[in-house]
A and B are shown apart, each in its own frame.
Chain A
Amino acid sequence: MTERNYAQIGERVYEETLPNCLTVRVVSKPHHAKACAFFVTRYGGMDLRFQLNGQWQDTPAGIAHYLEHKMFDTEDGNALQDLAQNGAEPNAFTSNAITAYYFYSTEHFYENLKILLEFVSVPYFTDESVEKEQGIIGQEIRMVEDTPDWQIYTNLMECLYEKSPARVSVAGTVESIRHITAQTLYDCHRAFYDPSNMVLCVVGNVDPARVSAIAREVLPEAGGAPILRDYGEEESSAPARREHAQVMEVSMTQFLAGYKCDPPPEGVDLLRLGMIGDMACDILFGDSSPLYSRLYEQGLINDTFGGNFDILPGVAYLYVGGDTNDPHAVHAAVTEEAQRLAREGIDEDFYQRVRRAAYGQMIRGLNSFETIAISQAEGVFHGYDYFSFPEVFSSITKADLEDFLRRNVTADRTAISLITPKA
């Protein structure tokens, strides 16, 4: 395996691409008791339409997440239990763009790694077991239906996007998941769980050569060709709908405003764009921004206020929200402040401060094994080396941020989602 040392950030990485096209990364953490393995496929809630054997397939909303649940079933039982019996803490999640299976353990690491690779690569579904999962996932969906944070986000995405599957909830609906069968799950597994579409990232005090040897032993020898996917026609910069309001059992009005940003590039530019977006958020409404102080002192926001920049397949958006008594005033203030910053320029001292804080924030992120593993996987999928962030970061200028705000945070690109209390 190739070894790379990133002295400035104190990280060491071992890397290899197997003959089946699987990328293996091992991030060395010699002083930790725990180690984790993340096995990640580039397949998420937005991958609803794709080509299999030359034919376009349309699949029901929520299928990637449903598949994630069912992957734990094995011919002999359930991998969740196999891992847990070995002292591992296993879990999985599905986002818009990826599905990740992982475990943390302080003992039996290599046995657990073997179990992880086996159950994710060998599907085992029956119509009966697929049917049974309807109850469990149905309850997961009911749970999120009662969760204001989830509802406000889903409603915002429906406002912002017209054609992109970014508007579809990762979990699907109780109705959509009824159409999922063992056969659709097998098809999706065949298309997306190919080693060439996956990354294995291990973080901890482990032997990189042994990780690679286990991956070679367990996984198929050959990998397939890249998958063709369809994320819908190109979106216009205007939102599909300006506003959505829902009444729920909450104590106070919550809002989430979104700004549709330019579609994201690939490669290192994507990493750069992510940093620009994050810093633009800090400048615009971060804790030390003039806007935050002003709105907080006016009693329009409290410490629930905040937001971020998010990149999904083919789309990117900036969001901000929180509890407030006057969502429209706060929303308008954010848009106006962005345009003021673009027009008058960002104060140089303020920019330098935020820059320092943003750098510290990225270093801080390296405390989390999950952040490391997922960033590594994302980097492989999009063609950049995440740990090169210090160099990429130093190429960003104040003008980049001003330009980002000027283009993206405008009145004609925005929508707002509200959750209001019952009268």
Chain B
Amino acid sequence: MTKQRIQLLDNVFLTYVPADKFKTDFLSAQFITPLRAETAGLNALLPAVLQRGTVQYPDMQRLSAALDLLYGATIEHSVRKRGESQLWGFLATCVDDAFLPDGSKLLEPLTGLLGQLICQPVLEGGTLSPAYVASERTNLIDAIRSAIDEKRTFAARRLLEEMCRGEAYGLSHIGDEASVAAITPEALTAHYRAAIAQSRLELYYCGRAERERVESAFQTAFRSLPRAEDPILTPPQAHPPRQSPQVIREQMDVSQGKLSVGYSVDTDDKDAVVVMNTMFGATSNSKLFLNVREKLSLCYYASSTYHRSKNMITVASGIEFENYQKALDEIGAQLSAMQNGDWEAWELTAARSSLSNGHRSIFDSASQLEDFYMGQIATGRDDDPEKLLEAALAVTPERIQSAAKAVKLDTIYFLTGKEEPHS
């Protein structure tokens, strides 16, 4: 599975990954733009509106019918934050020709649909359909408001908001309610025209088809895509360490408290931080899992994530309200253990094994691979999973310990109940 990267048009690139182990082909078309408060809502709304219909299939029912005929091919709009970029576009899949009973070819029509969704939307007097804009605007506002529904993700998001206030990374990838509510069909149309002409378009294919066939299908599908000046993608800026930690406490009517802790990491040795974080809290073998959960029974989950492009670590856990200090102390104690080099040999072996398993498995999933490569492109890097793994496996205990010493408490966020403690 050797990835190839090909320039198809001005500022349009294709990442082609040949693979014959999947039952389906995986396609993606993503516009990569800087994440900014002014445009986050517009970029989030746009693909939802475009997915309502094209000139040839002007409503959802006809579009879905076309997909049904392609043996249940799927197209879904997507909006992601990777580093400080916002990616918007479409993900598509279809069953590979090899498994169709009637010898149909699905790649060309599906790629064609992707091209139509982006280049030939339903227009009324030159404007994106006002009815579609209004309906998707309501849906997007509902989605923004529903952030409170899932408390686990809500607490993780609130931590990033507070910790990265003033940085693009603190913004939501789907925008904020006030700016979305203010979007008119005219404004969205103007944004659409500029965005598809100016943003970098990244295409992706993973499946059995030959490279020439895929190139030709995409070239045909996007032949009418307007292309203007070459935009520059800005790499993400590392999170600046805070002088003294901030503590934020919020209340909701919930049964379980959600504790989120954010740390800045002041080192350039990111490969060492990857290994350090794996030992600290990224697996069911890590210090957080074994101590906060298994030893002290304080929680069902306690885990840490390394945000490589921002050089930050965040920890998430769900606990009884009255165990706030206990859990916080234990998380701190486990970090100190890492800083003091206080671990057994097997912990490092296990972390290396887990990293190796994780990196190798990426190639077994076409969608994970897409997310990996798009993430690389959006953060201005060009690494392969093998290369990253090799670098991580070369990290020595000394480097792990120095990486841990570069970790500094930044922000504590606690979502607690209205009555505490729990009765």
Contact = CB atoms under 8 A, between A and B. Distances in A.
Interface of A: 8-10, 29, 31-34, 78, 80-81, 84-91, 104-107, 132-137, 139-140, 142-143, 145-148, 248-252, 286-290, 292-293, 296-297, 299, 302-303, 323, 350, 353-354, 356-361, 363-364, 366-367, 422
25 contacts: A8-B101, A33-B360, A80-B284, A81-B290, A81-B350, A84-B354, A85-B285, A87-B354, A106-B361, A136-B294, A139-B319, A140-B300, A142-B256, A147-B151, A251-B148, A288-B68, A292-B64, A293-B61, A303-B139, A356-B68, A357-B67, A360-B70, A360-B72, A363-B24, A366-B23
B298 interface: yes
Interface of B: 19-24, 59-61, 64-65, 67-73, 93-95, 98-99, 101, 135, 138-139, 142-143, 145-152, 252-256, 283-285, 290, 293-294, 297-301, 318-320, 346, 349-350, 353-354, 356-358, 360-361, 363-364, 422
Given A86-B353, A104-B357, A293-B59, A360 B95 contact: yes
A31 B19 CA distance: 9
A248 B20 CA distance: 47
Contacts of A299: 135, 138
A332 to B, nearest CB: 21
Contacts of A293: 59-61
A90 B363 CA distance: 19
A140 B293 CA distance: 11
A15 B60 CA distance: 45
Contact of A85 (B256, B300, B353): B353
Given A137-B300, A139-B318, A143-B256, 8 more contacts: A33-B360, A80-B284, A81-B285, A134-B297, A139-B298, A292-B61, A296-B135, A358-B72
A13 to B, nearest CB: 15
Nearest to A365: B23
Contacts of B255: 142, 145-146
Contacts of B284: 80-81, 84, 90-91
A148 B72 contact: no
Nearest to B150: A147
B298 A135 contact: yes
B300 A136 contact: yes
Contacts of A135: 297-298
Given A33-B361, A84-B284, A145-B255, A136 B299 contact: yes
B99 A107 contact: no
A106 B361 CA distance: 7
Nearest to A357: B72
B357 A249 contact: no
Contact of B350 (A31, A85, A134, A290): A85
A296 B60 contact: yes
B349 to A, nearest CB: 6
A363 B320 contact: no
B386 to A, nearest CB: 11
Given A106-B361, A356-B72, A359-B71, A364 B23 contact: yes
Interface-centre pick from B68, B253, B358 (highest chain A CB count, 10 A): B68
B156 to A, nearest CB: 14
B141 to A, nearest CB: 10
Given A87-B354, A251-B146, A299-B138, A364 B68 contact: no
A90 B284 CA distance: 8
A89 B354 contact: yes
A418 B354 CA distance: 42
Given A139-B256, A249-B253, A106 B357 contact: yes
A103 B56 CA distance: 47
Given A139-B299, A299-B138, A106 B356 contact: yes
A10 B388 CA distance: 33
Contact of B256 (A31, A146, A287, A358): A146
Contacts of A81: 284-285, 290, 350
B303 to A, nearest CB: 13
Given A146-B254, A296-B60, A353 B357 contact: no
Contacts of B319: 139
Contacts of A353: 65, 68-69
B151 A146 contact: yes
Contacts of B65: 288, 350, 353
Given A249-B148, A288-B65, A363-B99, A34 B23 contact: no
A107 B363 contact: no
Contacts of A286: 64
Contacts of B93: 364
A252 B142 contact: yes
Contacts of B145: 251-252
The list of the 8 closest CB pairs from A to B, nearest first, reads A135-B297, A87-B353, A288-B64, A357-B72, A360-B71, A360-B72, A84-B285, A251-B145
Nearest to B135: A299
